[in-house]
Amino acid sequence: MIPWTKKYQPEKISDVKGQEKAISQLKNLILKGKSTVILYGPPGTGKTSSVYAIANELNYEIFELNASDFRNKDMINSKIGSAINQRSLFSENKIILIDEIDGLSGMKDRGGVSALAKLVEKSIFPVVMTATNPYEQKLNPIRKKSELVEFKTLNYLSVFSVLRIIAEKEKIKFQENALKSLSRHSAGDLRSAINDFQTITDEKKELLDESIKELSERRKTESMISALIKVFKTTDINIALNAFENVDEDFDKRLLWLDQNLPLEYQKQEDLARAYDYLSKSDVFKGRIRRWQHWRFLVYMNIFMTAGIAVSKDEKYPGFTSYKPTTRILKLWRAKMKYQKRKVIAEKIAEKTHTSSRRALQDTLPYISFIFKNNKKQAEQLTETFQFNKEEADWLKK
């Protein structure tokens, strides 16, 4: 299966949506010849795709490298040094594209940034680099020698227009609201949106509102598992403390996930006992927050459930553990749904019998439930009297 990000990569400038100003700046700089440019902005905003679209229209060859592949200045000198002076084999001109120069920032001590800064000055061809944040202090030597072009976060309508084109070409049925929701979910990352679109529609060739809900739940699960790895697979307090930073779940769910998966990870009884002790302390503070509304206790809750559990083990456990969603969440959800149905039914009974909902729930509902299970004719009469819908009537029969 060909990734749609590759299949529908822009072939010409007009195919790139939402970045007209940036592309115009970039094209003008490339046409000047000897230019060093840094394209910067969030992932999935079209930085690399724009370079290829411009190159196609100008009939330029592209020599692409990824900065994260360079381990030291010798590798940089070898790979880029030869490219900046070699004439193109297939076109009159070429562009040297270096993706993700943020990846060089970890090589300060090995001279990677300085080596690249010296090389781009000597290039007889345009050098275009991409970065998320070019203002990192470690990138100063390169930034000082470069023109900066910003690629702004795409608005959801730009993402939507691209997804709509793909849907038409792939003959995918879609609800417009669902496609717009998917566009908003991407937070301006077109690449992520296209990947999600392909994943969701791979089997059924349709996009519905339910599909977006499933995607949201899957992302929550993935982020939760990433957080568990940071807690369970480290003894570093600082790593553990920030484990749930990007998790869109409340503290109740976090506690349940930890409770479910702790025994899968911690094999020694002593480690497991210490971990559950910290988990229980976190639960104690949760109760104090609810009882007294002392929200400053959230800090302590987080410390116990992250750093506390992380340092409960004597050493990290080797190997891979398959973490599972907690079954208790589903049980709690079902219990909540059951309670809500009972409450709605009791309210209908209370309205017709002129009693309180509490009295209807305790005294009347059990008798009505008994009738529904044993006398079909009377059940039909009661359904009409209390105006129960089909779902409520079915529930009373269980």
The pLDDT assigned to 16 comes to 92
Cβ–Cβ under 8 Å, residues 278 and 309: yes
Would you state the pLDDT for residue 7?
92
In order, the DSSP letters of 151-219 are -PPPPHHHHHHHHHHHHHHTT-EE-HHHHHHHHHHTTT-HHHHHHHHHHHHTTTSEE-HHHHHHHHHHH
Identify the pLDDT of residue 219. Answer: 66
The pLDDT, as a whole number, for residue 329 is 55
Short-list 130, 158, 153, CA closest to 16: 158
pLDDT at position 91: 61
Would you say 100 and 131 are in contact if contact means Cβ atoms under 8 Å apart?
yes
356 to 160, 372, 385: CA distances (angstroms): 51, 22, 18
The pTM score is 0.56
pLDDT of residue 164: 94
The confidence score (pLDDT) of residue 289 equals 85
State the 10-residue block means of pLDDT for the chain, 398 residues long.
88 92 94 87 90 93 79 72 69 84 60 80 88 83 88 91 93 90 85 87 84 70 81 88 80 87 92 94 88 85 94 87 71 64 86 86 86 88 88 82
pLDDT of residue 55: 93
For residue 42, what pLDDT is reported? 85
Question: Which of 272, 273, 261 shows the shortest CA–CA distance to 226?
Answer: 261
